[in-house]
Amino acid sequence: MHFLLLFSRQGRLRLQKWFTPTPEREKKKIIRDMTAMVLARKPKTCNFLHWMDLKVVYKRYASLFFCLAIDDQENELLALEILHRYVELLDKYFGNVCELDIIFNFEKAYFILDEFLIGGEVQETSKQTVARCIERLSSLRNSCRRLRL
């Protein structure tokens, strides 16, 4: 995987995760290009695009577009499953997750992502295990805050 982007229908970025080192200016350009390309897609088209030498898999969930750029070797259908899994994890944590949850709790969205993917690969294939980890980390965070640790 090269990058994961979440953006709204108006093109505002809500989350960005880069799995390969990319200069800041190039990141901005990629975000602009991706947003433009994905937002221009008609509703009944397939979820795959080609951009440069990468395959881009995107899916819309409510008002957010989830966009994942993968290598030529990687499996697009599995990438769709990965996006779906991430959405399920967000949903489990926030309860009926919506875009505002991700806006106001963006750091938590990142923490959840970091329990699911590492270095551009899936680290845990069991949804329950990841959800349990996140819960544990959340309560750890709260207890640390209380104890000023």
CB of residue 72 to another protein, shortest distance in Å:
10
Question: Which residue blocks in 40-104 are alpha helix, DSSP H?
Answer: 76-94, 99-104
d(CA 24, CA 45): 31
Which position among 16, 60, 91, 99 is part of the footprint of another protein (CB under 8 A)?
16
Residues 35-94 contacting another protein, CB under 8 A = 42, 44-49, 73, 75-78, 80-82, 84
Which pair of structure tokens corresponds to residue 124? 């845990």
Nearer to another protein, 42 or 96 (CB): 42
- Residue 48 Rama label (left phi>0; alpha psi -120 to 50; beta): beta
- The least CB distance from residue 110 to another protein, in Å, is 6
107 part of the interface to another protein, by CB under 8 A = yes
Query: Residues 6 or more apart from 69 whose CB is under 8 A from it?
Result: 1, 2, 3, 4, 34, 51, 54, 55, 56, 57
| Chain contacts with another protein (rule: CB under 8 A) | 13-16, 18-19, 21-23, 28, 42, 44-49, 73, 75-78, 80-82, 84, 103-104, 106-107, 110-111, 114, 118-119, 121-129, 133, 137, 140-141, 144-145, 148-149
